[in-house]
Structure formats: structure tokens, C-alpha cells
Chains A and B, each alone.
Chain A
Amino acid sequence: MKLTKLLAGAALALGLASTAMAADKTKVGFIYVGPINDGGWSQHHHESAKKMAEHFGDKVELVYQESVPEGADAERAITQMALQGADIIFTTSFGYMDATLNVAKKFPKVKFEHATGYKTAPNMSAYSARFYEGRAVTGFIAGKMTKSNKIGYIGSFPIPEVIRGINSTYIHAKKANPDVKISVIWLNTWFDPAKEADATQALLDQGVDVVLAHTDSTAPLAVLEKNGGYGFGQAADMIEFAPKPRLSSIIDNWAPYYIQEVQAVIDGTWASHNAWDGISTGMVGIGEITDAVPAEVKAEALAMKEAIAKGEYHPFTGPLNKQDGSPWLADGEVADDGTLAGLNFYVEGVDGDIPQ
């Protein structure tokens, strides 16, 4: 293939050029699915990226492109960054997976890091966070706080990451409150404040009084603030909605990981891997639990967080059945990472179907 050669040649030339310059500067690229001020997912990646750049100071040049659609356009955006001489490129949404892999093949000298996917290559790593650990804590609080025994969950895309979150939320809400029911609404988008607000209102209309979101904007909290009910910060702390409706939050803290990976590129020790960190390394953080939550509930939630951090407790511990009642995990059995990575079923007690 001519293009491959051409691009590889260009990449090589750039690679040489940038190694010549690398003595002073490493170019780090980021691709975001939303705008950098979405208040959630993309903003947090960007803030972590800026922290990384601050950490390295003059040694690193940060470039980024925001609101890149997942699909054919992503491949061009990533290629463009590689052409411009980026040494490492972080693509921060699931839908960039195949595009990242395609570009990685053409630029063997450039390092690629894809968030929340499963495909890797010699110059492409995958990284993700065990958000389900945070979901366990917020799910527990949600179960304690609901008065109507109905909690709601705004799902983005029915991918394993989101399904893990729903299951973990429900399992721990039920631990806190055996009568709890969960309603899930799927939006098929990561960022659409209008749809997220509508979904929140629809849940409230069904009698739900605690809403958890797996989408990226602050719209659900804004609706809850106006019309009552509790919610949680997602991806970002969203502390501006505390103490009500925001009870706590799941914070994605990518900065330590970005610093570690960029350092590895600078040192020449970077190697392809599949990273999956959680509360223990600080990649998943729990935001301050506000005073709207009773003290004993807060204490229990924090104890759970500690247990997860120390590895004493795994959020997916048996006995657990699948939604259809068939057994999944025996008493005391812990889910393995392979199953969790491809999780595509609800646990028993969750109503509704995963869109197929």
C-alpha cells in the first residue's frame, strides 16, 4: 500500500525530527468526544491533560481537538495529530477504538492510548477506570436516600462499561434497601444536555427520587435542583450542585495516569498494555458526601469505599444471579475481569431489557 508507506515515511521523518527536538519537547495529543467545557467527561480529561502538561512544564507541548464525532471523522483527526508530530495521542472515547487502531498501524513510531476500549497493538494501549467501584458507593447512598424506593439511571450507550455501572448501582442500592427498584433510560449519546434533562424529568414523573447519570453533562443535576430529587456528580465533582441535589460524585482522575504514560514516552520505556485502575490508585475518586446524607449512611459508604480501595471487597461478589434467574456467581465468588470487560447482561432484579 502506497499510502501506508508514504505515511510511515512521513511519520518516520517526523519521528526523527521530533526525536531531534524531543530533547526539549514531547508533543502530547488529546482527542475529545465533547466540548472541553461539557462539565463532565471531556472536561475532566482535558483538566487532567492540563495537569499533566503543568507537571512537565516546558518538556511537553499539549495539543487537542474537541467535539470529534466517533466514526470516519475521528480517523482523520487522529491522523492529523500524528502527522503534526505528536509523540503520544490519547483518544478519550470508546467509539474511537477502530479509528485509533487504523492510525496506529500507519504510524508505528507514535504511541496511542485509547480510553475504555479493548483493542491494543504494539504501539496502542487501552486504559480505563473501574467506575463500577465508585458506582457501588453512590448506589449504596442512593438506596439509603430514596423515599419512593425508586431510583433512576440515565444510560448512554449499552456497552459493558455502562452495564457494569447499572449492575453495581443496583446491587448496592439493594444492599441498602431491599425494596429498591431501578429504572433505566437509554439515550445513545454521551453528551446532549437537552436529552439528559428530558430523561431526568421523565424519571421524576415516574416517581423516581434519586437519579444517577452515565452521561457527561450537568443537565440532570440542574433539573433535580429545580424539580426536587437527589443526584450525583458524574466524571466531574459537580460540587456547584452541593449539598443538594448532588449528594456525592464519581470523579475520574486521569492526571496521574497521563503523567505516568507521558513520562514513559520521555524515558523511552513506554510499552503497550491494558490498564484498568480503580479507587485504590485514585483513578476513580468519590467526591465529598454532603450533609444531606445522614451521618451513619455516610460512615457506611466511606467504609465500603475503604474496603474496595484495600481490595477487601469486590463490588461483584456472589451470590449473584443473572436477570433471567440463572446463577452467575456462587456465594463468595468474585467476578473475573474477562467477564466484567464484556459484561452484557443485567443482574437479577433489574427490570427492562438491554437494547439489542
Chain B
Amino acid sequence: MIRLEKRPQPSRAWSMATPVLAVIATMVFGGLLFAALGKNPFQSIETIFWEPLFGEFSFYYRPQLLVKGAPLVLIAIGLSLGFRAGIWNIGAEGQYIMGAIAGAGVGLAFYPLDAWYVFPLMVIAGALGGWAWAMLPALLKVKFGTNEILVSLMLVYVAEQLLASMSLGLLKNPEGFGFPGSRNLNDYAAGNSWIAQDIGLHWGVAAALIAVIFAYVLLNRHMAGFQIRLSGEAPRAARFAGVNPTRLILLCLGLAGALAGMAGLFEVSGPAGQVSIDFNVGYGFTAIIVAFLGRLHPVGILLAAALMALTYIGGEIAQGNLGLPAAAIQVFQGMLLFFLLALDLLTNYRLRRTVTEGN
């Protein structure tokens, strides 16, 4: 018999090893899945993990990894701060949308003015948009003790309705023949986020890297970071240590909202180009997976986002080249989280062989 024994301390070694093991397990079982679909498993796995990085067209795909990964990093960094403190913001998708609307709105208001200050104002508006949307669950939680999981999640759907309304009304392209969607910000030099499009570099990529460093310093060198960690790991001790929970909630949700809002702004003014009804494609939800896959650690999140971006882009290539169904790729990505959670058991428990007496 094998039984599980709780470790006195979560194992650091296993905590580092499980993401790697999860990736390997996903490759193995994903390969089996692809084989069951009648595709060559080795070729499929190679296409997903190798092709975007070193394949024939990697000159195009490598920049795309930055484009796909940057919003995930930005949002996941913000979420991880709250998650560490036990504050569960599930509505980053809504904050992302509101940041995009607010930021693009400012940009479109200045159109076609060509001035250096347009884009910085858009970034500030984007951050404020996301921050304000996150303040709703924060204030409701602080004032009335509502559950931030439910409120932040429900506000995603409200944000989606606002997005549709903006695409069809206020922000609609006046030269768009009545079709929904705003002007394309890629055609507005002062209002788009590209630094160098040919290498996939936009301000969101730069901001993502800055956010990683900022979060690392905050968590390791700053009092607020200590309070965040303490509240998550030992809530009672935190209270005795004089941590103000109200301030912590406002700080964590506010930062997460602002970062998600900025991610939305960088996306709408760069890769997406316009405010449209289906602008959001789920970065806010995927970032939750990224945050946990990265162990809520800034550097881990960077790596996890790179991995998620790789499976997205590689998965698309596999669809196009090998005819793998889209659903199989989604199952493959789902496996990654599944195995991570399953293997996480080993971080907190160890396997013990039980010897039954008399044998």
C-alpha cells in the first residue's frame, strides 16, 4: 500500500520540479491523444514546441510569442499579488476590457492630432480604466463584505456589454459604413503601441518586463510585499503585525486592475488595433492559469507565460499544418493545468509505503 503523508513544510524542490514534470506529462499524454486522432505524435509535439522557436518561419513566430505572452505576464503579475494575499480577483478579463475602452477612447478623442503626449495619456487612461473597474469589487468588499470572486467575475459580463455598446455607438468608426468597431489605431501613428512591429515589440512587452522586476522588488524588498505574503501565509499573524486588511485589499485589487487595464490598452492599440465587439479573447482568464503555473512568482510567471504563448502559437501551427482539430489543442492546454494541479500534491505530501503488521 502507498499512502500520502503531509509534509511539515511544502517541499521547495518539488515546487520547482512540478511545472517541468507537468509539461513532460502533458507531452506524453498529449502525444497519446494526437496518436488516437491518427496523427503522428512526435511530429505533433515537435510542431507545437519546436516549430515556433526554430522552425522554417520562426522569424515570424518568435515576435508573435512576445505579442501573445506580454498581456499574460502583465495580467498574471497583478493577479499573483492578490492571490498571495488571499484576495481572489477573477475578473481581470473585465478590467482588461475597461482599460482598452478607456485608453482607446482617449486616443480616439485626440485623433488625428499628432503629438507625443497622446500615447502616454492613453496608457494612463488604460491603467485608470482597469483600476476603476477593480475598485468596484474592492470597495464593495471593504464596505459590505461582499465576495470579490463573484463581484469581479460578474463585472466581466458587464464590461463585455459595455464593449459591445462602445463598438456599436460611441467609439464606432465614423468612416466604417455603419459596421461595428472603432477606427484602427494601427493607422494612427501617435496612438499606437508598436515600438518595432517587425520584432513584435510594443510597449506592452516593455511594460511586462518592468512589471516583473517591480513585482520582484515589491515582494522581496518592500514592506507592502511582506504584508501581502504574510496575509496569505498567516492571516492571524498578519493581523497581529498590524496589517491593515482594507488597505491591502484596495492595493492588491487596484494594482491588478491597473495592470490588466494597461494590458488591454497595449493590446487594443497594437495587435488588435481596434475596439470591436469580440476584442477580448480570454487573456484575463488564461492569466489565472499562468499565475499558478508560475507559482505566483514573478520570474515563474514570465516563464509560464512564455510556455502558454508557445502552446497557443504552436497549437495554431499544428492545426494548419497537421489538421489537428482546435479542440484537441484546447484539451492539450487543459492537460497542462490538470497535471500541474495533480503533481502539486507531491509538493505538499510525500508518498510513503505502508507496511502492514504481520506481513
Chain A positions near chain B (C-beta within 8 angstroms): 1-4, 6-7, 10, 29, 35-36, 63-67, 69-73, 75-77, 79-81, 83-84, 94-95, 98, 102, 118, 157-160, 188-189, 341-344, 354-356
Beta-carbon nearest neighbor of A189 in chain B: B278
Q: Is the CB of A95 within 8 A of B278?
A: yes
Mask for B309-324, Cβ within 8 A of A = 1, else 0? Answer: 0000100110111010
Chain B positions near chain A (C-beta within 8 angstroms): 57, 59-60, 63-64, 67, 160, 164-165, 168-169, 177-181, 184, 186, 197-198, 267, 271-274, 276-279, 281, 313, 316-317, 319-321, 323, 325-327
Q: Is the CB of A77 within 8 A of B316?
A: yes
Beta-carbon nearest neighbor of B200 in chain A: A3
DSSP class of A's interface residues: helix, strand, loop or mixed? Answer: mixed
Can you offer 16 A-B residue contacts whose CB atoms are under 8 A? A3-B198, A63-B320, A63-B323, A65-B319, A66-B325, A71-B281, A72-B271, A73-B281, A79-B60, A80-B316, A118-B177, A157-B277, A188-B160, A188-B164, A342-B179, A343-B178
Residues of the B chain whose Cβ atoms lie less than 8 Å from the Cβ of A1 = 197-198
Q: Is the CB of A356 within 8 A of B168?
A: yes
Residues of the A chain whose Cβ atoms lie less than 8 Å from the Cβ of B165 = 355-356
Most B CB within 10 A of own CB, among A35, A64, A80, A354: A80
Expressed in whole angstroms, the Cα–Cα distance for A306 and B22 within the complex equals 62
The 7 closest A-B pairs by CB, nearest first: A3-B198, A344-B178, A72-B271, A67-B326, A356-B169, A342-B177, A2-B198
Contact of A72 among B160, B164, B281, B325 (CB under 8 A): B281
Q: Is the CB of B57 within 8 A of A71?
A: no
Expressed in whole angstroms, the Cα–Cα distance for A141 and B178 within the complex equals 30
Q: Is the CB of A35 within 8 A of B168?
A: no
Expressed in whole angstroms, the Cα–Cα distance for A63 and B321 within the complex equals 8
Residues of the A chain whose Cβ atoms lie less than 8 Å from the Cβ of B326 = 35, 65-67
B70 to chain A, nearest CB (A): 11
Q: Is the CB of B281 within 8 A of A76?
A: no
Beta-carbon nearest neighbor of A343 in chain B: B178
Expressed in whole angstroms, the Cα–Cα distance for A64 and B184 within the complex equals 27
A52 to chain B, nearest CB (A): 17
Expressed in whole angstroms, the Cα–Cα distance for A35 and B186 within the complex equals 29
Q: Is the CB of B169 within 8 A of A71?
A: no
